DNA sequence: ATGAAAGCGCTAACAG
DNA sequence: CTGTTAGCGCTTTCAT
């Protein structure tokens, strides 16, 4: 690897001091036209680029955001990262990305590394907000941060939707179709607060609508392959007419498993997902689900963090004067229920016809000032 | 944001010099048990973490890999990044991720930023290998790098498959089903060397099998929304019985568009994709496609780069003595054709029955020494 | 308008 | 065994 060209090299070639080079190339301080000329020429011919690491050491800012998601295999997270990435890029920030692989050890280690790298802010999704060493480290360091998909924690806000309410809307949809015996299907139930919130909301909804309590169908990630586990689970709960899966991925897998078991979807079993990934609209039957805007979650979180970088470093920041440091509520995003062929009345005898599916009144809009028309 | 705890603070609290702290915490050099004790205690109570930026400045290594992909919205790239991420993480490297948004300007800018941040290596996918300012910068800096999805360029290897050959296999599949009039559907044809290679391979295959030359159906990304453009394109080329889309995303969109136009797939129009994303197996009709292992492309590229970091910095490196600097071939990966319901004989009268689809002899295995059983 | 020098956090070389 | 110091690349006073 070629030796790096430093500001010294440029100074030497231009026949001036390093300070002058800095001033010229940064447009700071006054310089004479002739020096400018020589410096530009020298820098150019040498292919000089400022070293961000020298710069960072001096300024204690890295113009880098850290991001931690469980995995990129789930499009929901990939989308969120994309949203974050776009915002960051447009603001001249780079992104250090780490995956927690759904486990807390990697999560904590990732934060440690990001802090060591002195990222200016962090956007992340943790498995359990209430019990995360990673979050504690962030809180202690008082570095600007924002959660995605989770609930707010301490002074750290969260961009996401109201999982509880959304899950309740799913119960409503099932009820609307005449279901009473349902199940909630979850992978990593214990270690995912999102999963738990959705279950609670669903259960509450079922109670509200006079349905039986949903049965918890939990999949232990470690014990074998998903498809076999699903087969077992579905066989054991043949009495259920509807299943709410904690995310679309799982819902899709469940549909496949049900089909393999010879159960028709939705005639024999209705299935509803959560997330609203695009694929859901292309599969057969199309997937009924809660649609969320993962991309927006990423953008919103990124914008929040960028807006809260230390004032000194962020002169253009639009921090509102009225904002208090104490309360840090959720950055609420809208969601809505998307009907799909995977949900019908038990036995497929939906009397209302196709219209019934779309009549469920479940669009929830939460105006968000941070989300402006400029998009990302 | 709380002031960062530095090695000096620890030294002061432990009542010793900074060098001692460094020695103790890094396990380098000899130290007495009592000092060790005090240093650990001090560091611990202060919550000290080494600053990578100070370290990097001194060592000129960042333990960071740069990665540039067109977008994360396409699961193919998300998977590749995931593969890269896993390898990097396991080797103690972090990843700076940038998206080029399929345009060369962002691509070049991203490289500039990564170089400024002094990443130790770069893994990327460019739109056009033959004409990439980004690649030139990398070449000039002589920083370890590896391409993904592209062809090798100069001394930069590429992990990927043989697009030309794979596309030829698609022609074979069409021919096998009795198609003669086909089209090649591409988005961003001009700016994607992958697209072009696939077209060339497909055209060559068509010639080999005595079919008509495939018609090039090009979509100009800028001129309106995809679905309308597809409608137009499909309407104009009603005489074709088969379409090969340059990637699965496009294939899926084409299927949808065809359906909307009232054309049955595959009876009226067969469609084949490229990439083998998982969704393809869940849609209706299931998508015939070339299956590639994007994840492996990422892993392989990462491993290549890690193996080629400057020897001095990478004592454990397993660089082969025989490897020459001159030739830099492709890091070939295997691919295979996956039959699907979206491809049938014209008119849906496939005489061979379902078996025909699977009989296409097109599995290509390329043993790769870099890809060991340890996975990522 | 410009150069010299301090200092950001760290490691390595050199003294003791 | 341990402390002192130089220097990594850069910006920023402070002189000139």
Chain-chain contact of B142 with A62 (C-beta, under 8 angstroms): no
In 3D space, the residue among A132, A135, A133, A130 whose CA is nearest the CA of residue A145 turns out to be A135
Q: Tokens 């159906």 label which residue?
A: B217
Q: How much is the mean pLDDT over chain B? A: 88
Specify whether B238 is located in the same domain as B113.
Answer: no
Question: Contact at 8 Å (CB) between B289 and B340?
Answer: yes
Q: Would you report the helix, strand and coil content of chain B in percent, each value rounded to 5?
A: 45, 15, 40
Please judge whether A252 and B115 are an interchain contact, meaning their C-beta atoms are less than 8 angstroms apart.
no
State the average pLDDT over residues A218-245.
Answer: 88
Q: Shortest CA distance to A115 belongs to which of B25, B51, B44?
A: B51
A252 Cβ under 8 Å from any chain B Cβ: yes
* Whole-number distance in Å between A55 CA and C14 C1': 29
Residue B360 has pLDDT above 70, yes or no: no
**pLDDT-based confidence at B43, cuts 50/70/90?**
very high
Domain presence at residue A58: no
CB atoms within 10 A of CB B19: 12
B34 part of a folded domain? yes
pLDDT of A347 reads 85
The proportion of chain A whose per-residue pLDDT surpasses 70, expressed as a percent, equals 86
- Alpha helix (H) residue ranges in chain A: 7-14, 18-26, 33-46, 52-59, 75-90, 104-116, 133-141, 163-176, 193-208, 226-236, 248-260, 294-307, 355-359
Q: How confident is the model at residue A33 (pLDDT cuts 50, 70, 90)?
A: very high
Asked which of A33-47, A138-152, A223-237, A239-253 is least confident by mean pLDDT, the reply is: A223-237
Q: Is residue A75 part of a domain?
A: yes
Chain A positions in Cβ-Cβ contact with residue B94 (cut-off 8 Å) = 96, 98, 113-114, 117
Which pLDDT belongs to residue B140? 94
In this prediction, residue A327 carries a pLDDT of 44
Residue B307 lies in a domain: yes
CB atoms < 10 A from the CB of A42, how many?
21
Smallest CA-to-CA distance from B132 within B153, B113, B155 is with B153
Give the model's pLDDT for residue A366.
Answer: 47
In chain B the beta strands, taken as DSSP E runs, fall at 64-69, 94-99, 121-124, 145-148, 158-160, 182-187, 215-219, 242-245, 270-275, 288-292, 330-332, 335-338, 363-364
Closest nucleotide (C1' vs CA) to B55 is C10
Q: Is the pLDDT of residue A174 over 80?
A: yes
A226 and A308 together in one domain: no
Instruction: Give the minimum alpha-carbon distance from B204 to chain A in angstroms, rounded to a whole number.
Output: 32
Q: Is residue A93 part of a domain?
A: yes
Q: Decide if pLDDT at B368 tops 70.
A: no
How distant, in Å, are the alpha carbons of A76, A276, A332 from that of A367?
22, 20, 8
Alpha-carbon gap, residue A211 to A208, rounded angstroms: 8
In chain A, residues with a C-beta closer than 8 Å to the C-beta of B95 are: 96-98
User: Quick one: A174 and A299 in the same domain?
Assistant: no
Per-residue pLDDT at B91:
96
CA of A15 and C1' of D5: distance in angstroms? 29
Phi, psi dihedrals of residue A154, rounded to the nearest 5°: 55, -130
Contacts of B363 by beta carbon, 8 Å cutoff, 6+ apart: B334, B336, B337
User: What mean pLDDT do residues B31-39 have?
Assistant: 94
B173 with B309, same domain: the answer is no
Q: Which 8-state DSSP code applies to residue A344? A: -
Give, in Å, how far the C1' of D4 lies from the CA of B50: 21
| Claim to verify: residue A155 and residue A168 sit in the same structural domain | no
Residues 82-101 in B having a C-beta less than 7 A from any atom of strand D are none
Per-residue confidence (pLDDT) for residue A350, from 0 to 100: 63
Q: Are residues A145 and A258 in the same domain?
A: no
- Whether A172 and A262 share a structural domain: yes
What pLDDT is attached to residue B349? Answer: 67
Total domains in chain A come to 3
Q: Is the pLDDT of residue A190 over 90?
A: no
Tell me: do B119 and B150 sit in the same domain: yes
pLDDT of B194 > 70? The answer is yes
| B286 lies in some domain | yes
3-class DSSP state of A27: coil
B49 within 8 A of B21, measured Cβ to Cβ: no
B209 and B350 inside one domain: yes
Query: Cβ separation of A252 and B47 shorter than 8 Å?
Result: no
DSSP secondary structure code for residue B131 in this structure: G
Smallest CA-to-CA distance from B272 within B238, B297, B237, B247 is with: B247
Inter-axis angle of helices B18-26 and B33-46, nearest 10:
90
Supply the mean pLDDT for chain A.
88
pTM of the model: 0.90
Q: pLDDT tens across B214-260, in order? A: 999 999 876 678 888 999 999 999 999 999 999 998 999 999 899 88
Q: Give A332's pLDDT tier (boundaries 50, 70, 90).
A: confident
Q: Are residues A236 and A344 located together in one domain of the fold? A: yes
State percent of chain B over pLDDT 70: 86
Residues of A in contact with B249 (CB under 8 A): none
Query: Confidence band (pLDDT; 50, 70, 90) for A353?
Result: very low
Percent of chain B residues past pLDDT 90, beyond the cut: 77
Location of structure tokens 């077992």: A232
The pLDDT score that the predictor gives to residue A328 is 54
> The domain that contains B243 carries what CATH number?
3.40.50.2300
Residues B225 and B122 in one domain: no
Distance from CA of A107 to the nearest CA of B (A): 12
Roughly what angle, to the nearest 10 degrees, separates helices B104-116 and B133-141? 20
- The most confident of the ranges A242-246, B192-196, B327-331, B343-347 is A242-246
pLDDT given at position A330: 65
Buried b (16+ CB within 10 A) or exposed e, A80-111: bbbbbbbbbbebebbbbbbbbbbebebbbbbb
Q: Which residue is nearest to nucleotide C13 (CA to C1')?
A: B19
Q: What is the extent of the structural domain holding B74?
A: 64-159+295-326
* B43/B21 Cα distance (integer angstroms): 9
Identify which of B51, B56, B283 has the shortest CB distance to residue A283: B283
How many CB atoms are closer than 10 A to CB B271? 26
pLDDT of B111-153, one tens digit each? 999 999 999 999 999 999 999 999 999 999 999 999 999 999 9
The pLDDT of residue A369 is above 80: no
Over residues B337-343, mean pLDDT: 97
Asked if A60 and B4 come within 8 Å (Cβ–Cβ), the reply is yes
Question: Which residue(s) pair with A367 in the sheet?
Answer: none
Q: Give CA–CA dist A370/A304, Å, rounded.
A: 8
Instruction: Tell me the mean pLDDT in the region A307-318.
Output: 62
Q: What is the pLDDT of residue B190?
A: 86
- B264 pLDDT more than 90: yes
Q: Closest nt to A17 (CA→C1')?
A: C3
Domain annotation covers residue B57: no
Residue nearest to nucleotide D4 (CA to C1'): B17
Cis peptide before A285 (omega within 30 of 0): yes
| pLDDT in the model for residue A329 | 61
Q: Closest residue by Cα to the C1' atom of nucleotide C1? A: A31
What pLDDT shows up at residue A358?
42
> Which nucleotides in chain D have some atom under 7 angstroms from a protein Cβ?
1-5, 7-13
What pLDDT band is residue B327 in, cutting at 50, 70 and 90? very low
Residue A142 maps to a domain: yes
pLDDT value at residue A157 = 96
SS (H, E, C) A207-242: HHCCCCCCEEEEECCCCCCHHHHHHHHHHHCCCCCE
Q: Please judge whether B86 and A96 are an interchain contact, meaning their C-beta atoms are less than 8 angstroms apart.
A: no
| C-alpha–C-alpha distance, residues A282 and B273, integer Å | 15
Residue-wise burial string across A123-154, b where 16 or more C-beta atoms lie within 10 A, e elsewhere:
bbbbbbbeebebbebbeebebbbbbbbbbbbe
Separation of alpha carbons A317 and B248, rounded Å = 42
Please check whether residues A134 and A256 belong to one and the same domain: no
| pLDDT tier at A98, thresholds 50, 70, 90 | very high
CB B209 within 8 A of CB B178: no
Mapped onto helix, strand or coil, the DSSP state of residue B146 is: strand
The DSSP annotation for B236-291 comes to HTTT-SEEEESSHHHHHHHHHHHHHTT--TTTT-EEEEEE--GGGGTBSSPPEEEE
DSSP letter, residue A149: S
Which residue among B78, B96, B256 places its CB closest to the CB of A282?
A: B256
Tens digit of each residue's pLDDT (9 = 90 or more) over A39-58: 999 999 999 999 999 999 99
| CA–CA distances in Å: residue A89 to residues A71, B308, B312, B364 | 21, 29, 33, 39
- Smallest Cα–Cα separation from A244: which of A288, A191, A207? A288
Select the residue of B96, B98, B115 nearest A49 (Cβ to Cβ).
B115
Distance CA B147, CA B324 (A): 19
Q: Which nt has its C1' nearest the CA of B58?
A: D8
């Amino acid at each position: 690897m070629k030796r790096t060209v430093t500001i010294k090299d440029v100074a030497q070639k231009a026949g001036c001091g390093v300070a002058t080079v800095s001033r010229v190339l940064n447009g700071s301080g006054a310089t004479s036209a002739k020096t400018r000329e020589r410096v530009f020429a020298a820098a150019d011919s040498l292919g000089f680029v400022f070293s961000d690491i020298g710069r960072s050491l001096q300024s204690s800012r890295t113009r880098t955001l850290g991001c931690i998601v469980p995995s990129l295999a789930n499009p929901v997270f990939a989308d969120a990262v994309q949203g974050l990435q776009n915002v960051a890029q447009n603001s001249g920030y780079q992104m250090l990305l780490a995956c927690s692989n759904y486990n807390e050890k990697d999560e904590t280690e990732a934060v440690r590394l990001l802090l060591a790298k002195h990222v200016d802010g962090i956007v992340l999704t943790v498995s359990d907000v209430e019990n995360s060493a990673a979050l504690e480290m962030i809180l202690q360091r008082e570095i600007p941060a924002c959660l995605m998909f989770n609930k707010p924690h301490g002074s750290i806000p969260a961009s996401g939707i109201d999982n509880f309410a959304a899950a309740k809307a799913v119960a409503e949809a099932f009820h609307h179709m005449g279901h009473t015996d349902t199940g909630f299907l979850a992978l990593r139930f214990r270690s995912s607060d999102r999963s738990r919130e959705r279950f609670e909301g669903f259960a509450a909804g079922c109670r509200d609508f006079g349905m039986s309590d949903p049965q918890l169908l939990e999949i232990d990630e470690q014990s074998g392959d998903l498809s076999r586990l699903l087969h077992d689970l579905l066989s054991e709960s043949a009495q259920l007419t509807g299943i709410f899966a904690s995310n679309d991925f799982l819902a899709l897998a469940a549909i496949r498993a049900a089909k393999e078991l010879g159960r028709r979807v939705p005639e024999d079993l209705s299935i509803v997902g959560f997330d609203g990934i695009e694929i859901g609209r292309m599969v057969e039957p199309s997937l009924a689900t809660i649609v969320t805007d993962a991309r927006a979650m990423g953008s919103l979180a990124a914008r929040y963090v960028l807006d809260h970088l230390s004032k000194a470093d962020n002169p253009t920041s639009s921090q509102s004067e009225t904002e208090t440091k104490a309360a840090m509520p959720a950055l609420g995003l809208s969601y809505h229920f998307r009907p799909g062929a995977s949900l019908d009345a038990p036995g497929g005898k939906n009397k209302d016809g196709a219209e019934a599916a779309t009549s469920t009144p479940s669009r929830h809009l939460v105006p968000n000032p941070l989300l402006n028309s400029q998009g990302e």
